[in-house]
Structure 1
Amino acid sequence: MIPLIPGIATVAQTITLSLTPIFMLTAIGQLLNVLAGRLSRVVDRVRALEELHSGATGAELTRYIWELRRLDRRISIINAALFLAVSSAVMTAIVVASLFVATLAKLHFASAVAVAFILAMLLLIASLVGFMIEVRVSLLSIHVREDLLK
């Protein structure tokens, strides 16, 4: 028996169905770019503070330690958000691949594809929440010192 090859119309329909997840991958890529940029800036600030820390004393040393702790927290949050965003991208890619495999092999696992897409969205939401938390932590860290306002 000769296997049936999906027609052009079926493949075109599958490509159309996969466009939404592809746009989602583009958005996740942009989120990864933003998160990586923020992580880079935080790491640069940590390195600068590490140099200042060694020669500091008193209130200045206390301020550096406080900021280093806050930066360490931000690094942890950004890393978690990056992991979640990459996981979302992987799940989204699995959705796209599954759509084509199901079409070409005439498999019927729509429920599995739907669950994978839902999981991808939940991971993306979690990553965005992490991003929101990191931005909030960074904004709470940025303030003008009282001694400079007098």
Structure 2
Amino acid sequence: MLPSAPEVAHVISQAVAPVFLLAGLGSFLNVCTSRLARIIDRSRSLEPDILASRGAKHDRLIVELRVLDRRMALVSRAIFATVLSAVLTCAVVVLLFASGLTGLNFGTGIALLFIGAMISLATGFAVFLVETRIGAAAVRIRSDLLDHEVEGS
């Protein structure tokens, strides 16, 4: 028995909210990947300076590189959690259509997948929050520069 056009329209209207969520996830992934690219660019720009530096400057650059490495790992985790949320949201849409078109009851599966998608999304946001806090702390002006006075003045 084939579903009628109004039944298909009803299924589509149910699937609209998760599809809007996917659009938001895509935007957040764009922010994360742009941030990751900037972190990678900064770490690559430090490599020649690290190899050419000695003493306190070398130590400072190594500390900065370690912070960048940690931030890369965090952004990568945020991307993973967000992509997982997107995959689970796609599964919700598929099950909504399958349920609406076949008449089978996938309600529990849909609910569990959506809960998983929200947990994964919240995890991605939380990890991203940690990364942004680390990034903000790393770009603060060093106190030795703020206290620096020109000799002979």
The TM-score range, normalised by the shorter chain, is over 0.9
Equivalences for 1:1-150 in 2 at 5 Å?
A: 4-149=1-146, 150=148
1:6 CA displacement: 1.2
Q: Secondary structure at the match of 2:9?
A: helix
Which ranges in structure 1 are unaligned for 5 or more consecutive residues? none
2:32 maps to a residue whose letter is L
Shift of 1:9: 1.2
Distance, in Å, in 2 between the alignment partners of 1:11 and 1:133 is 43
Which sections of structure 2, spanning at least 5 residues, go unmatched? 149-153
CA distance in 2, matches of 1:37, 1:117: 27
Q: What amino acid does structure 1 have at the position aligned with 2:91?
A: I
Equivalents in 2 of 1:13, 1:63: separation in Å?
Answer: 60
**What whole-Å deviation, never above 9, does each CA across 1:48-84 have from its counterpart, x for those lacking one?**
1111100101110010000000000000000100000
Distance 2:15 2:100 in 1: 12
Tell me the number of residue pairs that the alignment of Structure 1 and Structure 2 aligns: 147
Q: What fraction of aligned residue pairs are identical, expressed as a percent?
A: 39
2:151 corresponds to:
none
Q: CA deviation at 1:37?
A: 0.2
| 1:101-128 deviations in Å (ceiling 9; x for gaps) | 1111211111111110111111001000
Aligned-pair RMSD on alpha carbons?
0.8
TM-score by length of 2: 0.93
Shift of 1:147: 3.1
